[in-house]
Amino acid sequence: MPAALVTGSSRGIGRATALRFADDGYDVAVNYRTSDEAAEAVAEDVRDRGREAVVVGADVSDPEAAARLVATAVDAFGGLDHVVNNAGIDQHVYTADLDPDDFDRVMDVNVNSAFNVTKAALPHLRESDDDPSVTNVSSILAHTGAPIECHYAASKGALLSLTRSHAGDFAPDVRVNAIAPGHVETDMTDDRTPAEKREELAEIPVDRYGQPEDIADAAAYLRDATFVTGETLNVNGGELMR
């Protein structure tokens, strides 16, 4: 049966993507770094949908851990057909106050992890008969920048360049695309004040936050869009027009 690996899939966008792939008939490798109970719950939801699931704790910014994650998924499912690089962290700090170590950590988790997982998965993806693909989860901030999270915006911009580079490098064997979400309602947005939320919503033409399922839908589209590679699908309710 076809199989997918979704990094950072214990919550939010990763969780929704894992469950969408299960709904579409894919066995799923569920990855987490710290939230083991949440990851196990996602795996149970995958199994409730009639698919197989394997749970792997791994900090994918570490190349050895990323390789172990991929190997575990391949051992469990007999192969690997699709990868969604979703693992990421955010931090709101002005540049003047930003510690270089924090800058490096955000780049490690948001960019290096996608490289590590993709590199480890590539030989297995090339053996797939399911029109294999890699999807990198970037951000609207890759296009706009951000005054209080320059390292996050820079990392997401780097993901778009990595996407285009890998799409050319891996063609025609493996398609590589990116999703650039706008404001999505997850636990990463729970700290927003009502005033901040009103300000953000005023910039979104469809007048609502995105939901994790909106991004999961985009990932499913890119998985199945066999004539699309090297592209970024902007999913932001029209915010990028403003």
Given a contact cutoff of 8 angstroms between Cβ atoms, the answer to whether 200 and 149 are in contact is no
Q: How many other C-beta atoms can be found within 10 angstroms of the C-beta atom of residue 53?
A: 23
Nearest to 67 by CA among 131, 9, 24, 115: 115
Q: Which amino acid is at 1?
A: M
15 token code pair = 């969780």
Which residues partner with 65 through β-bridges? none
Q: Using DSSP, state whether 230 is helix, strand or coil.
A: coil
CA distances from 233 to 36, 42, 160 (A): 30, 26, 11
Residue of 26, 32, 152, 209 with catalytic role: 152
In a 13 Å sphere around the CA of 119, the CA atoms on its Cβ side amount to 16
> Is 94 one of the catalytic residues?
no
Q: Which residues carry out catalysis?
A: 152
